[in-house]
Structure 1
């Protein structure tokens, strides 16, 4: 899965996460998140995997490019 900066920003917005929170949960630096989301650099494969894993653990589904384009979805938790 290739994570795009737009997806990263959208996923954070759905979760109401700051760049700092994502960085902490993904075990990467905040400057890495800031630079990636700002389009200043790409991510290394291992870094991307850590970020995607943090999002997936929080219920984020990254939608691949399809008929309607790329997307991000938040899985609803089931009521207990």
Structure 2
């Protein structure tokens, strides 16, 4: 199945809400733990994961970097997985 436009865009710039939540859950992190790791509020992370809030690309990239440094590989085609 071809990747959606949103998934292709996320692969180039940041990540999708679904990738964020799946990667966080792979690590066993709560939204608060992720928020602390990237110096954002829990509400910002939660609303982003629910698709209720758009997030700046720079913030998406910060989350992606934190998740990848913690051991998750985020691939648009296969989704998040432990590295």
Using the size of structure 2 for normalisation, the TM-score is 0.78
The correspondence of residues 1-80 of structure 1 with structure 2, limited to 5 A, is: 1=11, 2-65=14-77, 70-75=78-83
Deviations 1:33-65 (A, max 9, x none): 011011101210111111011101101111123
Aligned to 1:78: none
Question: In terms of Rg, which structure is larger?
Answer: 1
Q: How large is the RMSD of aligned CA atoms in angstroms?
A: 1.2
Q: Number of residue pairs matched?
A: 71
Q: Give the unaligned 5+ runs of structure 1.
A: 76-80
- By percentage of residues, which structure has more helix? 2
Runs of 4+ in structure 1 off by over 4 angstroms are none
Give the distance between the partners of 1:59 and 1:22, measured in 2 at CA: 13
Task: Give structure 2 stretches of 5+ with no counterpart.
Answer: 1-10
